[in-house]
Chain A
Amino acid sequence: MRDGGERIHGGGLVDIDRGLISRDIFSSQAIYADELERVFARAWLFVGHESQIPEPGDFVLGRMGEESVIVNRDRDGRLHVFLNNCRHRGMRVCRYDHGNTRKFYCPYHAWVYSDQGALIAVPKLESGYHNELDRDEWGLIEARVSSYHGFIFACWDEATPDFETYLGDHRFYFDDYCELPDGTFGDWEALGGIFKWRMPNNWKFGAENFAGDYYHNPSHASVDQVVLSPAGVKGRHTYDTVTRKREVHKLNICITPEGHTARGELFKDDYDYMPTYQEMPVVEDWFRECYAKRQERLGEKSRWFGHGGTIFPNVSYSNGVQSMGTWHPAGPHETETWRIFLVPKAAPDEVKNVLRHYVIRYQGPSGLTEQDDMENWGYAHEGARGTIARRHPFHYGMGLGHERKGWPVDWLGGDVYATEDVSEQNQRAFYARWAAMMDTPPGAETRRPADIKAAE
């Protein structure tokens, strides 16, 4: 405890130097309450993709922390993110998952807001309020918005730097995700609908797993024995059909001090396209063509193939199945996960269909892969609750001190560390950032997360 009775997260609860993390950070109600204030109310959070709201007036509901938000494109085409909450006395002003509207009508006392957030009508303004209510002061609460290649992020805190600064050197990895298979920043199209479901574990379990946990492969022992790969062969990856030996560095990448993380493969050499969809000529041709264009466009950097990562705090993306998942906190012991999936807009229908079937069967509650993840997260969460259990920290020490900078190539980013195959460096970077934010009381200067001590 600090002087004012403040809990200190870095050190006591999150000991990066030793890779030890208190179970309390997953199960304590007090820590959870601090997270909502110090992490979620400050960070850039993913709220939707522009293709979900292509036309003026389109809206889709999103969520930031525990709270509902309206993500919309106003009559002039501008994007907004509003707290879905009436300024009068808190009723939700929008309860439809998506749609098109010029105004949001509160069902309680009928205050009406425009698609630009202005309070445009108040019943009995004259007889009830005696014209003493200044409507300009009572518009919807609006967040900062940033659309990055069509992916919409929002933030409540004016003191947080702009989104690109927030992203830091993660930009290379997120750009890789945002690029179409041909290496251009063309249009992705979100498939209709959002997977939304509840999981009985703290939100950080999903975030740290997607951050890069190649060590958890045993979780997927069952799916690897059945056919999930879209190419129709045994296994869960698209590349399970590739017969030739793939020479790659399988890397965990952490970006400091931002605490963003990525995982993927760095091919050791220039590779030609590896036949993947042999049974589906249209799909195979399309990907082959994209591959050639990508190689040419990106040059040496085309050697990097991202698998996915986590943008701190709770946004996890997966390349290939092209999903954006958000681990929304719903109390310390529950997460409400939302996930959208995207396909290249200009791709032939055959390609879109293959990708759609693959993602539905891979991720989410009906997905053969994530079902087994969630089982482990749920019961690991229970393991963070016990009185005796909480006396003993979780171990995140794998590969401690073996992180390498500027390796295997020098273009992976500045304060970026890499480890090969299995390591918990990404989790350590994630929790270093988490602890630094948690140790920054409202109004205080942001602290710098604990450094990663790299191998010489």
Chain B
Amino acid sequence: MDIGADKALLDRLLLKHAVEQFYAREADLLDSRRFQQWLDLLADDLRYWMPLNYNRPFGAWDGERSAEGRDLNWFDEGKFEIEQRVKQIMTGVHWAEEPVSRTTHMVSNVEAEAADDAIVEARCRFLLYRNRTETETDFYVGKRHDRLRRSGDSFLITRREIFLDQNVLLAKNLTTFF
């Protein structure tokens, strides 16, 4: 067996495992509503972006998403703004989340690549199930691209791109975190 090739493979597997563990922990924090602890996973320079999707003709698919920093987006913000969203839930009178939703974050198809010693580029699919009050149910399904910065033996999220596969948003709101 070629030890050199195995070393590279092993590194990749370890990195993937570390990212998957990180996502599992993150999902658990969100789904158990430990929002303050979840905020600790976000870097101060976080960019959190979810564009709109357009129906575009064949050959013009590069224009199928609204542009960050220029167009309308479902989200185009930083950590401060995310913190306000958490604070709003914690007022107890944010009616869209009061009573609060039950969420389950599923993350799969994780791929992770070390860009350099500090940065990891990660891609995954997400399925976010949200159920609230009696029968209100939403499925948010799509892709996520994250830029993670190594921090101790874990990561901080410095960039999150969320591609929700919908044109007309079928849920009445986006009060949960992706």
Contact = CB atoms under 8 A, between A and B. Distances in A.
B162 to A, nearest CB: 11
Contacts of B56: 96-97, 99
A147 interface: no
A292 B71 CA distance: 30
B54 A366 contact: no
A226 interface: yes
A391 B83 CA distance: 45
A192 B71 contact: yes
Contacts of A199: 172
A96 B57 contact: yes
Interface in A49-105: 95-99
Nearest to B70: A192
B84 A192 contact: no
B73 A193 contact: yes
B120 to A, nearest CB: 27
Contacts of B50: 366
B169 A365 contact: yes
Contacts of A96: 54-57
Interface in B88-125: 88-89, 91-97
A375 B88 contact: no
Contacts of A359: 72
Contacts of A193: 52, 54, 66, 71-73
Nearest to B87: A226
Q: By CB atoms of chain A within 10 A, which of B67, B93, B96 has the most?
A: B96
Given A219-B95, A375-B96, A365 B71 contact: no
B172 A226 contact: no
B76 A375 contact: no
B170 A371 contact: no
Contacts of A378: 172
A338 B93 CA distance: 27
Contacts of B94: 222-223, 371-372
Contacts of A222: 88-89, 91-95
B88 A366 contact: no
A47 B2 CA distance: 66
B31 interface: no
Contacts of A357: 76-77
Nearest to B175: A371
Nearest to A352: B70
A227 B87 CA distance: 9
Interface residues of A, number: 42
Contact of A191 (B54, B71, B74, B88): B71
A197 B171 contact: yes
B95 A226 contact: no
B8 interface: no
A371 B66 contact: no
B85 interface: yes
Contacts of B73: 193, 360
B168 A336 contact: yes
Interface string A165-203: 000000000000000000000000001111111111000
Contacts of A221: 91, 93
A193 B95 CA distance: 28
Interface string B143-178: 000000000000000000000000111111111000
Contacts of B70: 191-192, 356
Contacts of A422: none
B76 to A, nearest CB: 6
A228 interface: yes
A109 B94 CA distance: 51
A385 to B, nearest CB: 14
A99 B84 contact: no
A371 B77 contact: no
A374 B173 contact: yes
A198 B55 contact: no
Contacts of B69: 353
Nearest to A99: B57
Interface string A333-346: 00010001100000
Contact of B169 (A196, A200, A219, A227): A196
Give the 9 A-B CB pairs with smallest separation, nearest first: A192-B71, A193-B72, A197-B169, A222-B94, A371-B96, A193-B66, A222-B91, A221-B93, A366-B174
Given A191-B70, A226-B88, A375-B173, 15 more contacts: A99-B56, A192-B66, A193-B54, A197-B171, A198-B168, A199-B172, A221-B91, A336-B168, A353-B69, A357-B77, A360-B74, A365-B174, A371-B97, A372-B94, A375-B96
6 contacts: A99-B56, A193-B52, A193-B73, A357-B76, A366-B50, A375-B95
